[in-house]
Amino acid sequence: GAGVSQSPSNKVTEKGKDVELRCDPISGHTALYWYRQRLGQGLEFLIYFQGNSAPDKSGLPSDRFSAERTGGSVSTLTIQRTQQEDSAVYLCASSLLAGTSGRANEQFFGPGTRLTVL
């Protein structure tokens, strides 16, 4: 597609439920990134994929968070047993490649999924 797309745009869930957030990167981009933006704060890195593998998942806040990418394209971020502190905007980005300088490392962001945990 023309840009990074994310779904759903908004998700309201009850504490303790599981949620799945989806990201569709720009066609041809091999690197995919997940970030979280809590209200009034900057973006926190969660995980990134190069192809289907995740070289850096150091930002995942707990084992309730997991992500996968299949076919080198779509990625799903899953949060199990959601807590109120998980409420945030979850942003996905993609780039042509990861781990290189120059244009290849420029990240393009999707519109985000606003998650509200009641």
Site residues for another protein per CB under 8 A: 31, 33, 35, 41-45, 48, 50, 55-56, 59, 91, 93, 98-102, 105-112
Question: Beta strand pairing status for 75-79 and 43-50?
Answer: unpaired
Q: How far apart are CA 29 and CA 25, in angstroms?
A: 7
Which C-beta is closer to another protein: that of 62 or that of 100? 100
Secondary-structure percent of the chain, ordered helix, strand, coil, rounded to 5 = 5, 50, 45
Q: In the complex, what is the shortest distance from the CB of residue 105 to another protein, in angstroms, rounded to a whole number?
A: 6
Minimum distance between the CB of residue 70 and another protein, rounded to whole angstroms? Answer: 19
Q: Which CB sits closer to another protein, 34 or 117?
A: 34
In DSSP terms, 109 is beta-bridged to: 93
